[in-house]
Amino acid sequence: MKIAIFGLGYVGAVSGACFAELGHEVIGVDISDAKINLINRGEAPIVEEMIAELTAGAVKLGKLRAMKDAAAAVGETDVSLVSVGTPTGRDGAPDLSYVDHVVEEIGAALRGTAKSHTVVIRSTIPPGSTEQRLAPLLEKAAGEKLGARIHLAFNPEFLREGRSVRDFRQPPFTIIGALSDVAFEQTAALYAGVESEVIRTDPATAESIKLLSNAWHGLKVAFANEAARILKPSQVDVRKALEIFAKDTVLNISPAYLRPGFAFGGSCLPKDLRAMISLADRSQAAAPIMKATLMSNEAQLDAALTAIRACGRRPVTLFGLAFKPGTDDLRESPYVALAEKLIGKGYDLRIVDPFVDASRLMGKNKEFIEREIPHFVDLMARDAEDAVDAAEIIVYGHATGVDKGAILERGVGKILIDLSGDRDLECCGADYKGVAW
Ligand SMILES: NC(=O)c1ccc[n+]([C@@H]2O[C@H](COP(=O)([O-])OP(=O)(O)OC[C@H]3O[C@@H](n4cnc5c(N)ncnc54)[C@H](O)[C@@H]3O)[C@@H](O)[C@H]2O)c1
């Protein structure tokens, strides 16, 4: 394919040389004469492992050259890849003016021509930018609607400086947030020869994955450093501890727990976070992540309460009281906390949780219930069908298969607030709302 790459910085220079290596014909575009001259002499405009050799080889073969003239570059190519900078602006949001400008230049270059062209945004931009900001800009500049001959996609870049050529050749995945089938196909075709899963999604999801990834990487670094500050006084070699910790790919380094929904609770997570905070406090080590984790969990509880209150209806039936399904353990259950808040706000509340109910009858959890939440006894509903019928709002934490069946059958016309992310609930005829999606 013939590709124009706008912005010959770290992303653009690496992409240019690597796409040329894959056999594409690449024209780099930049406002910097120095960078253009370097490339045309066969020299890389950045310092990176392998990039000097790749650039020299591609230029020699005639697969890579650079120019300043955006319109000429668009005129000679099938795809424009935008990798200009998006530095932090005054208000903390990224400054998208360079991307805007380039997209307008590309649109203007396409105006009045008959050529088909796909614009691929590679710069990191906030969710919604491609569809809500760049698509209208491109349409306006080109003087026509997208989707006929002009196409637009967002394709995030995951390379790490210092090993960016290796990362280009072996990316974790190739994500394409395409606005049309052609946009997807053209963008995917760029990566023919790169071994990685190609995932098609909508542009806003693709944009958010890039931000999520970097926020997650930052969090991992800060977590490791915070763990070291907290544990060092206990004579722990945290390098060794974290090395072993990372070997758990079932719970620690895995998709486990990475599902938005409701707050965590139970007998272990809050208690052990508090143990870490107390260790930190003992040695006056800063532990903002551990503390903020508890605060963020509390915020999720408040978000659920806000979502329920925003419905402006009552009474409420809550499905699930134990801290997770399949147990009767009520210790630090966020559902207990939510129920308490609802009672505090004067809600008429019913609670369905057969595990808790059975343990109350069998006496297992009797002591906890009688001591901590005696007022809950009268709220426990035995019959899920009756509890659904009596509710205006159903709050779904968790339920047995039979009780979930009662919601699916009888939930029509009710408001259903899903804290669990159970996709079956979305089509039960209720007015479905998720707290976290
Ligand atoms: N550097 C990384 O490791 C990395 C990784 C993934 C994503 N990103 C994202 O990719 C984007 C680019 O990052 P970078 O580090 O390559 O930036 P950079 O600052 O190194 O390069 C940007 C280039 O764009 C050029 N430019 C500015 N306006 C232009 C215009 N109108 N026409 C043509 N060129 C123009 C600049 O001269 C510069 O050469 C950013 O959004 C960044 O967040 C960067």
Q: Is pLDDT at 339 greater than 70 in this prediction?
A: yes
Tell me how far the alpha carbon of residue 82 lies from the centroid of ligand 1, in angstroms.
Answer: 8
Question: Alpha-carbon Rg of the chain, whole angstroms?
Answer: 28
The answer to whether residue 273 sits within a structural domain is: no
**Ligand 1 atom closest to Cα of 123?**
41
Q: Is pLDDT at 362 greater than 90 in this prediction?
A: no
Please state, in angstroms and rounded to a whole number, the distance separating the CA atoms of residues 128 and 214. 18
pLDDT band, residue 361 (cuts 50/70/90): low
Same domain, 168 and 312: no
Residue 182's CB: how many other CB atoms inside 10 A? 17
Tell me how far the alpha carbon of residue 113 lies from the centroid of ligand 1, in angstroms.
Answer: 28
Q: What is the pLDDT of residues 238-293, one digit of tens each?
A: 999 999 999 999 999 999 999 999 999 998 999 999 999 999 999 999 999 999 99
Tell me how far the alpha carbon of residue 122 lies from the centroid of ligand 1, in angstroms.
Answer: 9
Catalytic residue among 18, 268, 427, 428: 268
- The CATH number of the domain holding residue 119 is 3.40.50.720
Q: Is pLDDT at 134 greater than 70 in this prediction?
A: yes
Q: Rounded mean pLDDT of the chain? A: 95
User: What pLDDT is stored for residue 357 in this prediction?
Assistant: 80
User: What pLDDT is stored for residue 365 in this prediction?
Assistant: 73
The answer to whether residue 284 sits within a structural domain is: no
Please state, in angstroms and rounded to a whole number, the distance separating the CA atoms of residues 328 and 364. 9
Q: Is pLDDT at 359 greater than 90 in this prediction?
A: no
Of 167, 202, 237, which residue is a domain's last?
202
Domains in the chain: how many in total? 2
Protein residues with CB under 6 Å of any ligand 1 atom:
6-12, 29-32, 35, 83-86, 98, 101-102, 123-124, 157, 159, 161
**Ligand 1 atom closest to Cα of 46?**
20
Q: What is the pLDDT of residues 22-64, one digit of tens each?
A: 999 999 999 999 999 999 999 999 999 999 999 999 999 999 9
Mean pLDDT of 87-115: 97
User: What pLDDT is stored for residue 364 in this prediction?
Assistant: 61
pTM: 0.94
Beta carbons of 397 and 318 less than 8 angstroms apart: yes
pLDDT band, residue 326 (cuts 50/70/90): confident
Q: Is pLDDT at 201 greater than 70 in this prediction?
A: yes
Tell me how far the alpha carbon of residue 307 lies from the centroid of ligand 1, in angstroms.
Answer: 40
Tell me how far the alpha carbon of residue 114 lies from the centroid of ligand 1, in angstroms.
Answer: 29
Ligand 1 pocket test, candidate residues 15, 18, 30, 39, most atoms within 8 A of CB:
30
User: What pLDDT is stored for residue 363 in this prediction?
Assistant: 63
Mean pLDDT of 153-179: 96
Same domain, 66 and 193: yes
Mean pLDDT of 200-217: 98
List the structure tokens of 33: 């004469």
**Ligand 1 atom closest to Cα of 124?**
41
Same domain, 9 and 149: yes
Q: Is pLDDT at 218 greater than 90 in this prediction?
A: yes
Beta carbons of 94 and 124 less than 8 angstroms apart: yes
The answer to whether residue 326 sits within a structural domain is: yes
Nearest CA to ligand 1 atom 1: 10
The answer to whether residue 164 sits within a structural domain is: yes
The answer to whether residue 211 sits within a structural domain is: no
Same domain, 194 and 305: no
**Ligand 1 atom closest to Cα of 84?**
24
Q: Which percentage of the chain shows pLDDT scores above 70?
A: 99
Determine the structural domain holding residue 175 and report its residue range.
2-202
User: What pLDDT is stored for residue 19 in this prediction?
Assistant: 98
List the structure tokens of 56: 């020299």
Nearest CA to ligand 1 atom 5: 159
The answer to whether residue 93 sits within a structural domain is: yes
Q: What is the pLDDT of residues 378-413, one digit of tens each?
A: 999 999 999 999 999 999 999 999 999 999 999 999
Same domain, 140 and 34: yes
Is 268 a catalytic site residue? yes
Strand order in the sheet with 174-178: 64-67, 25-29, 2-6, 79-82, 117-121, 150-154, 174-178, 198-201
**390-399 b/e with 16+ CB inside 10 Å = b?**
ebebbbbbbb
